[in-house]
Structure 1
């Protein structure tokens, strides 16, 4: 459900090349970039040279890799950076209380974007990563954010198709709709092996102004160890604390996020 890139423009082609890098890629060769993007070899060769010149790609043995310049640009994203700065004390406190993986996520279109991930030596092997995305319907973070989104997005997501990530992913719109109603009543959402086998999760919305979910916080762990119901109070408290901090910041002149 991600946004489409206009491949008819130079900028669109450059973005297509950057997005061709997968999360686990170390180095990608020119021929592989041509294959992944479907762009002409001469076009890819010219654009990767310009991306290297602008510190968005590095030229290394065997091909290219994403450059630190992209990280610098990402850290300048004011909304996410301000949110992370305000949230970090609450995320760290929640981790100390649970010693399980803690996430902070925001919604972009029909996906949840992971702004932060904190985990210790025994953190579960989750599919999440900082800066990564997942569909709203298969994560606790996503379901919380979807439940508090506008009716138009809710109708769009429920109209499907709902991607099946595991055998337990909810792909029936009626069941998902009932869960979203329960989220609004309970104030938290649960995930039971819906994004990855062996993973369970509980999330709460960061509500500013009563109903505006600017973000969500979750605790995630393996089904063999984590009982998400036991962490409802802690997750709610972290989300409420962050919401209060954001509300106070917004009340100040020029406040953000």
Structure 2
């Protein structure tokens, strides 16, 4: 399972630290969200001590917030095991997002067909700031296959779906992400090098991106983008599998399969392709 990135955790936990400019209510809300995100990563539940340690919050504060969240059914406490876990209300809220993005059921119809064509696992993901969040997966029938749980995250720059989304963004949106990362390079290192930015041009040209064992050793992914009604990147679909099966010779074939699938989903969902809207130049395409 892919975990939340170190950079994402650091930024959220920094926001939870006391500040003279931050109200107690905002601080408590931020800390409550940290607790929910932490519990979401641990299916078996966590003890109070474990949760406080992982969340980097005082035990007394963690218990107080858990009590409030339990009253609202966002978390639940198993008195037999003394473990805390995500509650039913968290599912209700999360399911509301899935309903609002009703392209997911539509996309899965196409994803199943793509899995049959490619013989490999197919994933659906969307952008969340500098990360991607996996929304759905259709597993292939092979014994050895890639697996990622819906809700898992990965960095934009090291995943095929992330690269595809970056390449499809309007320049101003992509620059906002790369410039923000450059500002933090002393602490985390700048992954958005000139070479990386230039490689995104190749992604746009061929219509798909490649993760060559960058996210997981031994796993390769090929991805393309689904566009919304304004011609912006809505989500991305990837084909993933062992490097032994996704060979250099198969990549162009798989890339074309996923590119065409995303084009079909875009059309069926009522989206518009880049050839219809010139996002990068700021005007309307005549092509």
Residue 70 of structure 1 is matched in structure 2 by 90
Residue 202 of structure 1 is matched in structure 2 by 222
The answer to whether residue 50 in structure 2 is matched with residue 32 in structure 1 is yes
Moved more, 8-17 or 26-35: 8-17
RMSD, matched Cα:
2.6
Instruction: Tell me, yes or no, if the aligned pair for 1:200 and 1:228 is still in contact at 8 Å.
Output: no
Q: 1:40 to 1:86 in 2, by over 3 A?
A: same
Residue 258 of structure 2 is matched in structure 1 by 235
The answer to whether residue 109 in structure 2 is matched with residue 86 in structure 1 is no
Residue 44 of structure 1 is matched in structure 2 by 62
Deviation of the 1:77 alpha carbon: 0.9
Instruction: Tell me, yes or no, if the aligned pair for 2:119 and 2:141 is still in contact at 8 Å.
Output: no
Deviations 1:4-33 (A, max 9, x none): 364343222211211223624412111112
Instruction: Tell me, yes or no, if the aligned pair for 1:147 and 1:184 is still in contact at 8 Å.
Output: yes
* SS of residue paired to 1:58: strand
Tell me how far apart the structure 1 counterparts of residues 46 and 103 of structure 2 sit (CA, whole Å): 33
Tell me how far apart the structure 2 counterparts of residues 240 and 209 of structure 1 sit (CA, whole Å): 13
Residue 129 (structure 2) aligned to one of 85, 109, 112: 109
Instruction: Tell me, yes or no, if the aligned pair for 1:158 and 1:177 is still in contact at 8 Å.
Output: no
Deviation of the 1:225 alpha carbon: 1.0
The answer to whether residue 71 in structure 2 is matched with residue 53 in structure 1 is yes
Unaligned runs of 5+ in 1: 164-169, 250-257
Residue 124 (structure 1) aligned to one of 145, 149, 156: 145
